Every structure is written in C-alpha cells, then in structure tokens.
Amino acid sequence: MGMTPESATAVAHPNFALSKYWGKRPGPGNFPAVPSLSVTVAGMSTRTMVRFSDELGADELVLNGVPTHGEPLRRVGLLLDRVRSLGAEKRRACVVTSNDFPTASGLASSASGFAALALGATQAARLELTLSQVSDLARRSSASAARSLFGGFVELPAGPEIPDADAELSARPLAPATHLDLRILVCVTSEEEKGTGSTLGMRTTAERSPYYGAWLDAAPRLHGALREALLARDFQRIGELAEASAMAMHASALAAGIVYFRGATLDVLAEVRALRRRGVPAYATVDAGPHVKVLVPTPDVDAARRALGAISGVLRLIEARVGEGASVVAREGACAS
C-alpha cells in the first residue's frame, strides 16, 4: 500500500519584460547574462494541477487537453526531478496544465507555465519553500518564469559572473500592481507556434551576432534607467526605455539571422508611432514571437484599441491589466486518510 496521492493546483500569469532578458551566462545553470524587469499581467493565465501517485511508472503531461511527450515532457520531468531531490516525495507525477491564451508563440506561456508548475509541484510534494525559493526553482527551467511568481513589477538580476550551477537566483518584487495605472494591449498576429524558441534564439545571437557584445553592454544601463523611471512613475520614460530595450534585443538577434517579426508586427510598431504623433502615449515591446504588446495609460486605452484593432494583421487584441503573482488554488490529499 502506498502513500496518499497528493495533488495541488496552481495558477500563474504571464509577465512581459519591459527591460529584456536575452542571453545566458556561459557555463552551467540557467543564469541570465543581463538583468530584466517585467510586469505581471492579469487576464491571461496558466492553471496547472500536479499529482504525485504510486500508480504512475513515469511522469505524465497533459497540455491543453492533449497527452504530450518529447521536449515539453522532458523539461517538466527535469523540474519534477529537482522537486523530488528536495524532499521526501519520490513518486512520479501527472501534470495537467492549460493556458487560456496561445501556447509557445511569444505570449510568455513558458513563464506562466513553469511558475505554475514550480508552485504546484512543490505544494503537492509538501515542501515548505519561500516564494523566493520557488522562483529560483522556476528560473532553472525558464528564467522569465522566475518573475511570474510575483505580481506587479518584478526584477530578475543577472546571474553570478563565476559559473556555479547551485547558486540561488530569484526574482524579487519591485512595486505592487497598484503602482502604475497601465494597460497592456496584446496584439495577437498569429495563432501558430513560434519558429525559434528563446533558448536557441539566445544561443544563436550569442554565437553569431556582431551586436551581442553591444547588447550585453547596453542592457544593464537600460535596465537601471527603467527601474528608476518605474519607481518615479514616469510613464513616458518607462515606455521609451521599454521600447528601446525591445528594439536593442531584436537588433542583436536580427544580426544573427533570428527574425521574430512578421509583416503584421511591423504594421503594429508603425501604428504605435503614429499613435504617439497623435498624442496618445503608447509604447511597444516584442518578445521571442511575432506579437506586439502595447503599453498605454488606462485613460488612453480606448483610443489605442480602436487604432490597433483596425490593423488587418491583428487577429485579436487581448487587454491585460497589471496583475498578481502565482497562487495555489486547490490542494488535496494531505488530510485524506
């Protein structure tokens, strides 16, 4: 007779980086080469149930209703192995996860996905970790996921300069969701999965881009200035620096042949500049995919919606607010017997 099956369900939200993480420290561990600063969003979420059971011979993954193998299951298994190495729970787990937005298309599904998985798995395994330790665990799978454990505006420092796979590196909250009255309009330009995953995109940029050194040099300065603008609630400066960080990141990637932009991406970027010429303070950021996230003060959101929604390549608009961090929504089994 085995132990009681133990399960927990966690919900996490994507985060969009205003100052981008692009590039890893050489050597072991999954450490960012540059600091980043993000906003956690509300209105989009990943819900993940993790159940350890002695009826399972191997870890299982059900992603958006579909039993999934290959690379996604391997990455989930690596996180579960770390959880099993931290405590008494040694059984295999079944992970059932779903997103209410397109998966793996540059809409930060890996961020919310690994944040929800790290929280759900550590809870199901009855580990007593701080949120900071859960953030470190998530960071080992996907560095941007470290930021989704926290709500509001969140910072992830660069990793240690001397490689040390065991070093702890967690994100930390900088300002709460109420700090800035801001909306993010996600302009979805494709429902397909993205071409080049962020890990390969970063590696190719580091190996082949003549501008990678320039990016490593610029990113911490942009980050420091953005952090100050954020703390001063200077929306215009935040927007300018966020757009500059995204453009510098993509410039370094483009020079290595890594192209995330599509025609519609450029059309949205042009409309964002046109909005500014008409007096609407809108600013854009783009991640490792073709969508554009447009930052706009809440009073200007309707004007921005009308303009962006009229672009033929924009398939739909998701309006997101600044949101809260990850949370546990259900827990079962602890008192079952």
Enumerate binding residues for ligand PMV (CB under 6 A).
17, 20-22, 36, 110, 142-144, 198-199, 287-288
Q: Let me know: does 282 contact 295? Beta carbons within 8 Å.
A: yes
Closest to ligand PMV by CB, 108 vs 280, is: 108
Closest to ligand PMV by CB, 218 vs 288, is: 288
Closest to ligand PMV by CB, 125 vs 295, is: 295
**In whole angstroms, how close is the CB of 144 to ligand PMV at the nearest point?**
3
Report how far residue 16's alpha carbon sits from residue 94's, in angstroms, rounded to the nearest whole number: 29
Closest to ligand PMV by CB, 132 vs 196, is: 196
Closest to ligand PMV by CB, 105 vs 198, is: 198
**In whole angstroms, how close is the CB of 163 to ligand PMV at the nearest point?**
18
**In whole angstroms, how close is the CB of 237 to ligand PMV at the nearest point?**
19
Closest to ligand PMV by CB, 104 vs 121, is: 104
Q: What is the DSSP letter of 194?
A: P
Q: Let me know: does 61 contact 27? Beta carbons within 8 Å.
A: no
Q: Which of 109, 105, 56, 104 is nearest to 80 (CA)?
A: 56
**In whole angstroms, how close is the CB of 270 to ligand PMV at the nearest point?**
21
**In whole angstroms, how close is the CB of 206 to ligand PMV at the nearest point?**
13
**In whole angstroms, how close is the CB of 315 to ligand PMV at the nearest point?**
20
Residues near 171 by beta carbon (within 8 Å), at least 6 away in sequence: 135, 139, 146, 147, 149, 150, 154, 155, 156
Stated as kind and residue range, the H or E segment containing 47 is: strand 46-53
Q: Phi/psi class of residue 215: alpha, beta or left (left: φ > 0; alpha: ψ in -120 to 50)?
A: alpha
Helix intervals (H) in the chain: 70-86, 109-124, 131-141, 145-148, 198-208, 212-231, 235-254, 263-277, 301-309
